[in-house]
Structure 1
Amino acid sequence: MSVIDNKAVVPPAEWEEHAAVWTAWPTGDDLWAPEAKFARLEVEGLIRSLSEDCNDRKGDKVKLLVKNEEARESAQAAVGDLAEIILQPYGDIWLRDTGPIFLTHDLAASFRVNGWGGKYIYEHDDKVSRAVAWIADARSEQYEFVLEGGAIDGDGKGTFLTTRECLLNANRNPDWKTQADAEEALQSALGARKVIWLEGGLLNDHTDGHVDNVARFVGPAHVVCMAPTGDDDPNADVLNAIYDVLSHETDADGNKLKVTRIPSPGLYRDAEGAISPASHMNFLIGNASVIMPIYGEKSEAAAEEAISILQDIFKDRQLIGLPSNYILTGGGSFHCITQQQPA
């Protein structure tokens, strides 16, 4: 980890060793149409893959929140001893955004939650961050500004990616008038030394353009983003603009970024025919595996190529593509529903 002059601790990069990965069990058919059981099957697949040892590396210890007795029984039947099942109230399963950002094994940063700009207000979501920190036996530092974990992505050395569409949106922190305002807040809480600003995220993204759907650090001075798939990719202009920005950027230490592109899922529509923010970037880097969401998209070759490219980057981990169609109906995928705790 890194410490800057103001003593703020930089959260470790996601590829560094985890003591645990936290997630939550989909519950409530009002949140998970047509039934929560379909999203549960996808979360079960994630937990099974994460916990498995691969390439002489130990899998992740998974801590699974459940909100009631029905959910506890369901989770126990599905994953058994593969996860530590913890009864704890929460609103919905998006722990990347509502949970704490762990700075060390026993220190976490908690931020104000306002339902992604007031769009989705669920009971207990504003309390789950401090609850997770308490369960993890970690001290929680509380910051009185809105920050969702999916809105930023870091290299563990003080360089962060984000989008103006989300971080400067007036529905989050209306007092932030400039990029400098946001950068000062990120420096004070997370030790940010440099913020790389992208303009926006995917079409119809509920989160107002979370960066973990469009660009991710995968190593020191190494970023992955997406290339359009097909002539009808609705995000083609956005994805090309992101690549152009990143190709001209450096990290906080002045190192020119290496930028690798993987294919996007292309045009993907939900059951009602609306364009959905399906993304191969919403992968989770585990201790022994990297779990990339797939959606049964029309271009199977694009998904296979994305897995192949990521496998070449993460040579010491197993790349696994898992279905995330039903989790996507809630607005995100595997990265959105997890939060890692450093070893």
Structure 2
Amino acid sequence: MTSTPAREGFFFPAEWHPHVATWLSWPHTEASWTRDRQELMFPAYIDFIKAIARSEQVCINAHNEQVMQAAEDRLRAAGVDMSRVTLLPHPTNDSWCRDHGPAFLINPAKQQRLIVNWGYNAWGNKYPPFDLDNMIPIRIAQYRGLDYVTPTAPTGSIIMEGGSVEFNGAGTVLTSRACLLNQNRNSHLTQADIEQYLYDYYGVRQVLWVEEGIVGDDTDGHIDDTVRFVNEDTVVAAYEANPSDDNYPFLQDIHHELRSMRLLNGKQLNIVELPMPDPVVSDGLRLPASYANFLITNGSVIVPTFRCNNDQPALDILGQCFPDRQVIGIDSTDIVWGLGSFHCLSQQEPAL
């Protein structure tokens, strides 16, 4: 492609846009969960797959034939509708498909789809190896028979993770400086440079920045733990009510930043406060537990819960935001030990 996706009319739709499928990468190494922790998290992971499969196809990158068979055995034993599941022999290093999976763009006028093959370096070279994960967008493009484009600069590929960007489907993307301007991603690029890549390869016309993320987030501040669009002009924003909590100042700053923002049409954001769960701590480590790490599917909103009093209020708030979808809470306490939850694990594939 000699032009950019944006000039050709492609854009990244909002997550509530109809899906062809949701993509996952099956856990098979100890990169995020030790073997004993993996056994603890698999019941919730399979409940997650079962919930997605109620309203759309689930496509799963499985490292090899052995992993494919082990995955199928677990899914069948749990009663998952296997007609809604496709297992593919796509080698992976880890399980966080939101970040290593493809960015699917659509062009409704031309009835075409396109994949953006961003570079992936495991959140600033924190968790090598990541070479197999970095190939996943190309493997999926080949499987789907879709063209793909790889954003590059003179110094190499452009690092971009799906959890670092949040779209309203109407020209706006939300992101954080702590992540996208981190020197461990694209040290050779300025903020203006990065904004131009977002315009050119996501088809947006406005970039809105918050500063930080939450405590325990090893991604350096992914937006999908703090602020999520629920329609074109409304966000849910993680809110900490306890002034002594370590997240309190960061989330207060984000709310202040959001209140000052204006959308392309000049409107202020509607901001819905989404409470934070009680701190989730394991082995002395504060984990990045947040209700904002939900996944929107064709028929549901799948929300992580954490065995605390704010679980139900959070589900109720999201139910009011998505009256046309079933809100499903699934215990993510063992999943978040791997430092992510349902949104981090998944990447939606939009329909035209």
TM-score (norm 2): 0.89
Look up the match of 2:198. 186
Give, as a single letter, the amino acid of the residue that structure 2 aligns with 1:199. E
Alpha carbons of structure 1 residues 288 and 51: separation in structure 2 relative to 1, 3 Å? same
The 8 Å contact of residues 217 and 224 in structure 1, kept in 2 or not, is answered as yes
1:16 Cα deviation (Å)? 0.8
The C-alpha deviation readout for 1:203-226, integer Å capped at 9, x for no partner, is 121100001110011101111111
For 1:230-269, list aligned pairs within 5 A.
230-269=242-281
For 1:69-218, list aligned pairs within 5 A.
69-80=65-76, 81=82, 82-104=84-106, 106-122=113-129, 123-144=131-152, 145-177=158-190, 179-218=191-230
The 8 Å contact of residues 8 and 188 in structure 1, kept in 2 or not, is answered as no
Give, as a single letter, the amino acid of the residue that structure 1 aligns with 2:285. A
Among 311, 316, 332, the residue aligned to 1:303:
311
1:335 Cα deviation (Å)? 0.5
The 8 Å contact of residues 224 and 262 in structure 1, kept in 2 or not, is answered as yes
Distance 1:174 1:328 in 2: 29
Alpha carbons of structure 1 residues 70 and 37: separation in structure 2 relative to 1, 3 Å? farther
Distance 2:145 2:113 in 1: 6
Distance 2:43 2:62 in 1: 15
Distance 1:98 1:318 in 2: 28
Look up the match of 2:39. 37
Look up the match of 1:20. 21
- Residue 287, structure 1, aligned to residue 298, structure 2: yes
Q: Which runs of 4+ in 1 moved over 6 A?
A: none
Distance 2:64 2:41 in 1: 17
Range with bigger deviation, 31-40 or 185-194: 31-40
Give, as a single letter, the amino acid of the residue that structure 2 aligns with 1:159. T
Distance 2:24 2:5 in 1: 30
Look up the match of 1:55. none
Q: CA RMSD in A?
A: 1.8
The C-alpha deviation readout for 1:104-125, integer Å capped at 9, x for no partner, is 2731111111121111122401
Alpha carbons of structure 1 residues 233 and 8: separation in structure 2 relative to 1, 3 Å? farther
1:282 Cα deviation (Å)? 0.4
The 8 Å contact of residues 289 and 318 in structure 1, kept in 2 or not, is answered as yes
The 8 Å contact of residues 237 and 271 in structure 2, kept in 1 or not, is answered as yes
Give, as a single letter, the amino acid of the residue that structure 2 aligns with 1:266. D
Give, as a single letter, the amino acid of the residue that structure 2 aligns with 1:23. L
Unaligned runs of 5+ in 1: 53-58
1:134 Cα deviation (Å)? 1.6
The 8 Å contact of residues 7 and 191 in structure 1, kept in 2 or not, is answered as no
Look up the match of 2:346. 338
Look up the match of 1:56. none
Distance 2:241 2:64 in 1: 41
Distance 2:333 2:244 in 1: 20
Give, as a single letter, the amino acid of the residue that structure 1 aligns with 2:183. A
Q: What fraction of aligned residue pairs are identical, expressed as a percent?
A: 34
Alpha carbons of structure 1 residues 29 and 116: separation in structure 2 relative to 1, 3 Å? closer
SS in 2 for 1:150: helix
SS in 1 for 2:334: helix
1:79 Cα deviation (Å)? 2.1
Distance 1:12 1:285 in 2: 13
1:231 Cα deviation (Å)? 4.8
Give, as a single letter, the amino acid of the residue that structure 1 aligns with 2:330. L
Alpha carbons of structure 1 residues 260 and 171: separation in structure 2 relative to 1, 3 Å? same
1:148 Cα deviation (Å)? 0.5
1:267 Cα deviation (Å)? 1.9
Range with bigger deviation, 38-47 or 152-161: 38-47
1:318 Cα deviation (Å)? 0.5
**What is the aligned residue count?**
330
Distance 1:5 1:326 in 2: 40
Among 266, 275, 285, the residue aligned to 1:274:
285
